[in-house]
Amino acid sequence: MNIPNQLTVLRVILVPVFIALYLTGHYYIATAVFIVASTTDLLDGKIARAQGLVTNFGKIMDPLADKILVYSAFVLLVADGLVAGWMFIVILTREFLVAGLRTVAAADGIVIAADMSGKIKTVLQMIAVPLLVMRNWPFVYIGIPADKIFLWACVLMTIYSGCEYVIKNRTVFTKGGI
């Protein structure tokens, strides 16, 4: 298994570590684990492209590992009342919509690559989660609700990128009798 794929697997392995730390109230360490896991997302793609190590495993598992990491965190944050349930539902709805769109397109031999708006959405999520886990530290001391600002940015970018995927790929809905 190449290094980018090992980093992807590491990201998945770190999810239960993050969850356990969060649930036991070790928010600082949980945040550090989340940030390390998020960083593997940046590294695996860069290394894979730079060294020509892009694999089918990586194409499937990299975005899946991101979703497992981020949505596990959001479930915890919703349970603790730090994220409104409807916001998480909007985020999940976009993911199911895009996944469904990609599945239908793949059946016709069409590959729908990640757009920049989807990548921005992921980055915003990976910034918002640590801020929310840390209860807006250190911004709480200067009165800036950075956690909520990034959370709202996530939701808005989620809606925007979901609409963008549907509009750009609307022909997928008209093929095959949909």
Q: What is the mean pLDDT of each run of 10 residues along the chain (178 residues)?
A: 95 98 98 97 90 88 92 98 98 93 83 86 95 96 97 98 92 68
The reported pLDDT for the residue numbered 58 is: 87
**Side chain identity at 21, as an amino acid letter?**
L
Distance CA 104, CA 107 (A): 5
Distance in angstroms (rounded) separating the CA atoms of residues 68 and 70: 6
Give pLDDT, residue 115.
86
Q: Which residues contact 75 (CB under 8 A, 6 or more apart)?
A: 88
Q: Output the pLDDT for position 55.
A: 87
- Residue 26 tokens read as 């070790």
End-to-end CA, the chain: 39
Domain that holds residue 126: 3-177
Give me the pLDDT at residue 71, please: 95
CB-based contact 40:7 (threshold 8 Å)? yes
142 vs 129: CA distance, rounded Å? 19
The C-alpha atoms of residue 16 and residue 2 are separated, in whole angstroms, by: 23
Give me the pLDDT at residue 172, please: 82
Q: Tell me the CATH number at 97.
A: 1.20.120.1760
In terms of residues, how long is the chain?
Answer: 178
User: How many independent structural domains does the chain possess?
Assistant: 1
Whether 74 and 83 have beta carbons less than 8 Å apart is answered as yes
In the block, tokens 């944050």 appear at 77
* pLDDT value for 178: 53
User: C-alpha angle 147/151/153, rounded to 5°?
Assistant: 120
Amino acid 170: pLDDT: 86
**Cα 48 to Cα 23, 91, 107, 131, distances in angstroms:** 34, 28, 26, 29
